[in-house]
Amino acid sequence: MSTATEGNEAFQNAAQGIASELRRRGKADANTAGAQSASGNSLFPSKPTTGDPSLAKTESLLSHERNEQEELTTDLLDMARQLKEQSIHFGNTLEGDKSVVDRALAGLDKNTLNMDAASRRMGALRRMTEGKGWWDRIKLYCMIAGLWLIAFLIVFVGPKIRF
């Protein structure tokens, strides 16, 4: 709030400085011929006079603009405060979610290791079954047929043999 007050004082000082440098326009009166400059109080009185409506209008316009500037400054300060609160809240939320992200990352690492092990096992199984070629497949079929023949002999021929 002190910056708004300082701004108003600076604005008033600037207006008085400009008013002190102004000269009366037109022909000078006989009693004001010696006075070249006017004071700030004579140009900007504290209460507008009824004789000069443009002065009252200018004063009310300046007052309105000053009030609007103070409102804008207050609104900007409120928005900056809200932005700071939201950024702090967002930081706290991120800090809270950090543990969840760490646990998810650990789970993904474990899953990756398990997938690598499964991939190695599948590669070994593929090499054992498909990497042999057609000749090894025929040997496998012959071994299966031989085992069937041995099983048939044990079941049907074996009991007939007597010692």
Domain annotation covers residue 36: no
**Domain presence at residue 108:** yes
**Residue closest to 43 by CA, chosen among 65, 64, 69, 15:** 15
CA proximity to 1, closest of 65, 85, 70: 70
Whole-angstrom Cα distance, residue 87 to residue 140? 70
Asked if residue 143 and residue 127 are part of one domain, the reply reads: no
Confidence of residue 52 (pLDDT cuts 50, 70, 90): confident
Kindly report the pTM of this predicted structure.
0.34
Can you read off the two tokens belonging to residue 90? 């967002």
**Nearest-angstrom CA–CA distance, 57 and 49:** 11
Q: Residue 56 — very low, low, confident or very high, per pLDDT cuts 50/70/90?
A: confident
SS3 per residue for 11-35: HHHHHHHHHHHCECCCCCCCCCCCC
Q: Are residues 102 and 163 in the same domain?
A: no
Residue 50 domain flag: yes
Domain assignment of residue 75, yes or no: yes
Q: What's the pLDDT at 134?
A: 75
Domain count, the chain: 2
Place of tokens 């006989």: 30
Selection from 9-23, 35-49, 95-109, 118-132 with the highest mean pLDDT = 95-109
CA-closest candidate to residue 125, choices 110, 117, 139: 117
Q: Tell me the per-residue pLDDT of 66-95, one tens digit each, with 9 for 90 and over.
A: 999 999 999 999 999 999 999 999 999 998
pLDDT score at 27 = 53
- Specify if 31 maps to a domain: no
